[in-house]
Amino acid sequence: MKETKYKEIHNYLKGQIQQGNYKVGDYLPSENELCKRFSITRTTARKALDELTRESFIERQHGKGSCVKERRKSLGLLNVKGFSEAVGENVQTIFLQKPTENKWSEEIFNQINDDDKTEVCLFFERLRYVANNPVSVEKNWFSGNVLPGFLETEFAEGSFFKTLSKKYLIEVVGSSSELRAESATNNVAKKLKIKQGTPILHISLKFKTSNPKLTIYSELYCNTQKFPIGSSYSM
């Protein structure tokens, strides 16, 4: 089905933002400029910009225009505070397993979509540090069929979500989460440099994306003894 004109302009501008052609703080073309460039009415231009505002890509500034904003939209997640918010902290993320083909694991707590079970599974595992303290083991599984070339892709700014956005124009649009207090297994304890049996927070996440064929399943094992829980998460 053919896209409506406003949606065509909206998708074009969003793609330009996602790919970094318009960066945070940059201004998009004005409504008048969009009308001239795409031969559209002002109503159509305004509707496209309103949609970007609703999706938190831009903010409309009276007398100035449409400015690209830092996207900090909450997805209702919980995670160790620091990765997306810490200022002046020595924040580091390392791969324990770089992206590779793998099997859908029984470790995944959330129900795997039936369609995903028949697709190639990609997996990676990372360890998060704050101020040289290992605070979170993060495991991720997802279908690779909609992400061509992913295994050879360098993460944009070290971020999985930004890579999805900039390279594949895919956004995380929602999630479900399950939290459990557990005792650290020997495997997790070694990675977090704590004693086996130490209380940890286990977070199971299922991310919904703007591509209906891509769901991300994540298991996080968090040592919260030094860092509290925040309300946002950045991959």
> Where residue 35 sits, what CATH number does that domain have?
1.10.10.10
SS3 for 150? Answer: helix
Q: Beta strands 79-80 and 229-230: pairing type?
A: antiparallel
This prediction has a pTM of 0.72
**Residues in the chain, how many?**
235
pLDDT, one tens digit per residue, over 50-80 is: 989 988 889 998 889 999 987 654 333 443 3
Is 151 part of any domain?
Answer: yes
Closest by CA position to 34, among listed 42, 23, 25: 42
Closest by CA position to 164, among listed 26, 173, 129, 24: 173
Domain boundary among 39, 68, 97: 68
Domain boundary among 19, 49, 68: 68
155 shares a domain with 132: yes
pLDDT, one tens digit per residue, over 101-142 is: 999 999 999 999 999 999 999 999 999 888 788 989 999 999
Total structural domains within the chain:
2
Q: Which pLDDT does position 95 carry in this prediction?
A: 96
94 shares a domain with 62: no
User: How many CB atoms neighbour CB 218 within 10 A?
Assistant: 24
pLDDT, one tens digit per residue, over 100-109 is: 999 999 999 9
204 shares a domain with 133: yes
In 28-185, where does DSSP find H-type helix?
Answer: 31-38, 42-54, 114-117, 160-168
Closest by CA position to 136, among listed 203, 232, 207, 230: 203
29 shares a domain with 138: no
Query: Which CATH number does the domain housing residue 221 bear?
Result: 3.40.1410.10
Q: What's the token pair of residue 82? A: 């620091």
126 shares a domain with 29: no
Beta strands in the chain (DSSP E): 58-61, 65-68, 79-80, 91-102, 121-130, 133-143, 172-183, 199-209, 215-222, 229-230
Percent of the chain with pLDDT over 90: 57
Give me Rg for the CA atoms of the chain: 20
d(C-alpha 9, C-alpha 14), whole Å = 9
Domain of residue 197, residue span? 79-230
158 shares a domain with 138: yes
195 shares a domain with 94: yes
97 DSSP assignment:
E
84 shares a domain with 42: no
86 shares a domain with 22: no
Contact criterion met (CB below 8 Å) for 220 and 136:
yes
Domain boundary among 68, 88, 114: 68
Is 235 part of any domain?
Answer: no
Is 57 part of any domain?
Answer: yes
Closest by CA position to 232, among listed 81, 128, 126, 130: 81
